[in-house]
Amino acid sequence: MAFRREKFVPRGGPSGGDGGRGGDVVMQSSQRHNTLIHFRYNPEHKGQRGEHGMGSNCTGLDGRSITLQVPVGTSLYDAETGELIHDFSEPDERLVIAKGGRGGRGNQHFATSMHQAPREHELGRAGEERSYRLELKLLADVGLVGLPNAGKSTLISRISAARPKIADYPFTTLEPNLGVVTVGEEPDLESFVVADMPGLIEGAHLGSGLGVQFLRHIERTRLLVHLVDVSDASGRPDPVEDFKVINNELASFSSKGQSADEHPLAGKPMIVVATKIDAANPEKLKKLAAHAKRKKLEFHAVSAVTGEGIEELKWALAKRVRQDAD
């Protein structure tokens, strides 16, 4: 609320300016980020408040908006309802997730011919307050799945430059690893991204082992590569049963109410890969190959130690990824 007080203007009238608008909170997908760790220790973010209106009909400055950077592949959910608000699947997508409040009006707006010295003014409106849940799903073309110690980390280290932890005990992989695989030579060079998922065990969809906390990452993959250990070192007698255990876990996870734009894991294209064939039990290898044939699934046998079958598998993966892209 303000009035003009100028020399030779005895009845200057009201001159209160409007308040500035509050800043928005904007979320933007970025390729420079690959985790959500920066939200863990700073979970609350506010746009700048607008400045007060001033005399001489001067409007206050608008508050600065803030932009929160999230990795590509982040899903934004309403924390209260669980509704999916937006899926940041492409770089540089921007979304206003909380709008700033509108500035109040100064007393200049309340002057009339009968009320020439108004002392009324309007308070600014509060900005939106929203609570969200962020969920990061890795973007990869191919997802490697299988029981613990099936050879997933070893395989991704052979077909890409990824260097995951490799050891002879279960659950060596505690977080997904990404690797870029290249096949061919210029100008026909092709590349695709492979994700190595932590091992699954029976009952994973109920929380056993590492549970389903990583299965959501392969919801976005175009192709699943199911690795089955056919050596005797695993101590598991039936590779077909191992295959069925993982498929049952994928199907159980898929049935938990996926959204319409997400494909159930159990229905994704799949390639079956027998691993550790340098020490394979011939009966196990034969049995798994026959089962894959009955299921009409493409089958490959590889040894990450000797390199046998690795190149053939890389070309097969590139072909399937290319077909899906087309």
For residues 36 and 71, what is the distance between their CA atoms, to the nearest angstrom? Answer: 7
Statement: residue 163 has pLDDT above 80: no
- Note the pLDDT tens digit of each residue in 114-144: 888 888 888 889 999 999 999 887 667 888 8
| Degrees, nearest 5: CA angle 256-257-261 | 130
The residue length of the chain stands at: 326
**How would residue 196 be classed by pLDDT, with cut points 50, 70 and 90?**
confident
Assigned fold of 142-325 = Rossmann fold (3.40.50)
296 CB-contact burial (10 Å; exposed 0-12 / middle 13-18 / buried 19+): exposed
* Angle in degrees, CA 301, 307, 308, rounded to 5: 40
Q: Is the dihedral of CA 285, 290, 294, 297 positive or negative?
A: positive
Nearest to 107, CA basis, from 49, 54, 62? 54
Query: Domain extents for the chain?
Result: 25-136, 142-325
Per the CB < 8 A criterion, the answer to whether 4 and 58 are in contact is no
Residue 144 to residue 179: CA distance in whole angstroms: 11
| CATH class label, 25-136 | mainly beta
Q: Name the token pair of 50.
A: 């607008």
Per-residue burial over 7-19, b = 16 or more CB atoms within 10 Å of its CB, e = otherwise: eeeeeeebbbbbb
Residue recorded with tokens 């969920």? 135
Dist. CA 300–CA 274, nearest whole Å: 6
* pLDDT-based confidence at residue 47 (cuts at 50, 70, 90): very high
Which pLDDT tens digit goes with each residue over 218-262? 777 788 899 998 888 777 888 898 888 888 877 776 544 444 334
Read off the pLDDT band of 265 (50, 70, 90). Answer: low
Q: Tell me if 25-136 shares its fold with 142-325.
A: no
